A = this chain, B = another copy of it.
């Protein structure tokens, strides 16, 4: 490393430490913050975010980056990867006027409050002007990054480097045709009875114990992490030696805590598997949101909702809940947790129907950004799409257009990454079966080491050192996200 690179690296470490500290303020807010401390915490977060922004956009940092770029580094080296990532972020930051950043921040705060109130009244109309404002600001932002083939493209890129409408459209077209047909056929079949899961309460304490046990056994490293309770479960990282997950348990939804914990553990195992030399730099991240989501979904769905997993895990569950599950066979249990059902709310959707919720949102985001749809028309458009994709009409806006926080937070272009995560998960799953022929038997014996080693080698250890499309090419041989393995997976599982 050159002297110049080391000067840059010291600054990067510092900025990254401060960003990790900001994440701790957020984690604490979502887990342990006293009720009366919200305002004080908001001030602390704003102050620290200001310091981070100041450092990122400082002349000293720009100069250090430029000086370090003067030397040539081997493509694929740590130095080259870091410089690429920093330059990329820097250019994106630089194009954003401070005024626009502030306005989006203020509008998001206001919109979030309005969204909460609108949900209480179950009415979209009071939220509409705020959404309108945010949409205008994001369109203004998008216009800074010309030429973009589609106004949503620059926003997509924030979550998934290089992702474009042109790339998503053909993939989603396949899903729109094949997944809707598949869901219709599966949902029309008689669904297994799952009343035994909901007709009496399951101890949340025992649920948490089981969830911890599962997280530990699938390979979440508690020496470099921990589990706490929160309202809306999430994973957060304060560096590669401290990746924390959160969870929640409900007495009447005995699988919610387990699946949510496995999902977050999937995110965390990804981060814990990143090459340690990337620590305290922006390379100590997932390759993209879709890749991150692919790892959480893979563990939650392909592994956690699969029959091999339950061959191993069901006896533990039965021993924990002998009164509730002692007489329920594995087959009955497995059927009950894998029902296919069209439903109104994305976060409660099963793995077979989930993507349809995303298609709906993506269609609407595109229409909004193309000015083909006005914010005012949004609730009706939502309900119409819901009828088309899932055959249901929301009884009110709370169960419809007001259900997600993303738009209220100013995030447009985020939703597609969920569906792409599902597709990548199925691609990885299919590859894993080729590389580890006895994967199902391994899982059925509670052995996850080979699978984890495969994931680490093929995905995790790269961190954010490769652009997501390059990682996909390394993994699958092509840069294109392929929906076929996902559709095949669903077909095999739900239409045998």
Contacts and interface: CB of A to CB of B under 8 A. Distances in A.
Contact of A222 (B17, B28, B34, B222): B34
Contact of A20 (B34, B44, B226, B280): B44
Interface stretch (A238-246, A340-348, A391-399): A238-246
A238 B37 contact: yes
A250 to B, nearest CB: 24
A36 B223 contact: yes
A35 interface: yes
A280 to B, nearest CB: 7
A21 B25 contact: yes
Interface in A33-91: 33-37, 39-41, 43-44, 47-48, 50-51
A238 B36 CA distance: 12
Contacts of A244: 34
* Copy count, this protein chain: 2
Contacts of A41: 238, 242
Contacts of A224: 34, 36-37
A32 B31 CA distance: 12
Contacts of A28: 24, 28
Interface of A: 13-14, 17-18, 20-21, 24-25, 28, 32-37, 39-41, 43-44, 47-48, 50-51, 221-226, 228, 238-242, 244, 279-280
Closest 6 CB pairs of A and B: A37-B242, A17-B47, A36-B223, A40-B239, A36-B224, A37-B241
30 contacts: A13-B47, A14-B50, A17-B43, A17-B44, A17-B47, A17-B48, A18-B48, A18-B51, A20-B44, A21-B25, A21-B48, A24-B25, A32-B226, A34-B225, A34-B226, A34-B241, A34-B244, A36-B224, A36-B241, A36-B242, A37-B238, A37-B241, A37-B242, A39-B241, A40-B238, A40-B240, A40-B241, A40-B280, A43-B239, A44-B238
